Amino acid sequence: MEKVTERFIRYAKEYTTSDPGSETYPSTDRQIVFMKKLTDELWEIGCSEVKLDKFGYVMATIPANGVENAPVVGFIAHVDTSPDFSGENVQPQIIEKYNGKQVQLKDGVTIHPDEFPEILQYKGQTIITADGTTLLGADDKAGVAEIVTAAEFLLKSKEIKHGKIRLGFTPDEEIGKGTDHFDVKKFGADFAYTLDGGEIGELEFENFNAAGAKVVVHGRSVHPGAAKDKMINAALVAHQIITMLPPTERPENTEKYEGFFHLTAMKGNVEKAEVSWIIRDHDSQKFEDKKKLLTGIIQQINQRYGKVVAEIEITDQYFNMRQKIEPVMFVVDIARKAMLQAGVEPKVRAIRGGTDGARLSYDGLPCPNIFAGGHNFHGPYEFVPVQSMVKAVEVIVNIAALVNEIKK
């Protein structure tokens, strides 16, 4: 418990926010700064084949300790934190024996059980929060800390026999670029697990199909006093497009397997406006239908004005990994058994988002997702129970041992 707590707090204080506007890879030098420290630490605990490459990926090996012919399993986590909220100067707060009441932080930020009832699951446990001015970064510094802590344990243990294990740490996951340059062949695992899930027990092997959409509206600026039948107000046209999408298919109105259009940015004036969405759905046909719906709306707008007023660009980002995991469901079964051995009830769910594992699965590395323990990611209300992190470490160790039951 002390190891994973100390490690997580140390990692959380590192400023590793990624930048969606950057044209470099990784998107920020601060991620490299942390990766260099992580590389040194992996050497120090006894890992071999530790390598930081030019793209900011860190890979390392826990050598086999007498087990032959077992598959090579990998564990992966990302080091960047979300640009949605400040990740600079994070000051973790340790709350021992949480009493079930509201947690008062700086700047009027309160984690209140009425608003975040899930916190009551951890009454009596030790929880870690930020101080109210930043996010905490348990997404995914908790995963990083859990993997490194499990690695240190396995490297020191003589009782737990295991085959070769590979560790991977990625940048830029939060901006959808976490696996852009990930070399699956060099990683050399037969299958892997991302430690990037939420509450204790989460086990996920399906996620959203994802796309990004950008619409540019070209208006016609005319003096408002002489604008009749001449002006085309780009900002108002953009607003029209937004309102033509079904309001029931917004994130705030959806749950479980329901997809959505999420308006992420808009700017503009009379002359020009730009609007961006992310499009999500677990079902591939519904995903395609959503893209067609938005494209059709743009066509309607252009027909209304008799010319190309609005242009749209849709870019696929990642796809539902279920299609790639189902043929090798034993990797999910191993994780489920590892959780039960740790006294954790598996909660098999569909991810309402994506992980590095989704793209890696399509690149030939089956990679379901396991809980890292945190809640309320990407904002000041984030918290992670220490006991959940400890159980994640235990699950990793159990998986390492269970893989030996499978022969190549």
Show which residues are catalytic: 80, 173
Q: Which amino acid would we find at residue 247?
A: P
Question: Buried b vs exposed e over 235-253: b needs ≥16 C-beta within 10 Å?
Answer: bebbbbbbeebeeebeeee
Q: Which amino acid would we find at residue 394?
A: E
| CA 177 from centroid of its chain's CA atoms | 11
Return d(Cα 316, Cα 257) in angstroms, integer: 19
Return d(Cα 369, Cα 206) in angstroms, integer: 9
Do residues 27 and 18 lie in contact, with contact meaning Cβ atoms separated by under 8 Å?
yes
Largest alpha-carbon pair distance within the chain?
Answer: 84
3-state secondary structure 36-57: HHHHHHHHHHCCEEEEECCCCC
Residue 124 falls in which region: left (phi positive, over 0), alpha (psi -120 to 50) or beta = left
Do residues 382 and 198 lie in contact, with contact meaning Cβ atoms separated by under 8 Å?
no
